[in-house]
Amino acid sequence: MIGRLNHVAIAVKDLTASTALYRDTLGARVSQPLPQPEHGVTVVFVELPNTKIELLEPTGPDSPVARFLERNPDGGIHHICYEVDDILAARDRLKATGARVLGSGEPRIGAHGKPVLFLHPKDFCGTLVELEQA
Ligand code: CO
């Protein structure tokens, strides 16, 4: 059911410093910061040949990423995103197995303008999983 790895998202405290690390130290191509107030984050996309890294900085203390950074003060991997062909079919199949879909269970529009859902980390090896319709 899942297809390509679309991205790995890393929560960071300092988006400017983290962007410079990826651009200057690691030599990657990085985007301009993209505010996403509806998700409580500002995002920088790091373009790799086979996938993307998303650097997520919380927009304020109420952001879910701010709470993640309280538990992980150095930053850390926040979620991984897999592509699926049909997000509603994927959701229904997962729910039928007992997996928990976060929020209302209805897809929202994610960072790339496509429908996304998040799955409970306790059901997936301790990893927050995002599904994005390819
Ligand atoms: Co994501």
pLDDT digits (tens, 9 = 90+) for 58-85: 999 999 899 999 999 999 999 999 999 9
Q: Dihedral sign for Cα 7, 8, 9, 12, please.
A: negative
Q: Which helix (H) or strand (E) holds 15?
A: helix 15-20
Q: Where are the domains of the chain?
A: 2-133
Whose tokens are 């998040």? That residue is 118
Q: What is the pTM of this model?
A: 0.93
Residue range 38-44: average pLDDT? 92
CA–centroid distance, residue 131 to ligand 1 (Å):
8
Q: Which residues are catalytic?
A: 130
Asked whether the beta carbons of 41 and 57 are under 8 A apart, the reply is yes
The superfamily (CATH) of domain 2-133 is: 2,3-Dihydroxybiphenyl 1,2-Dioxygenase, domain 1 (3.10.180.10)
| Phi and psi at residue 39, to the nearest 5° | -110, 0
CA–centroid distance, residue 57 to ligand 1 (Å):
12
Residue range 18-31: average pLDDT? 98
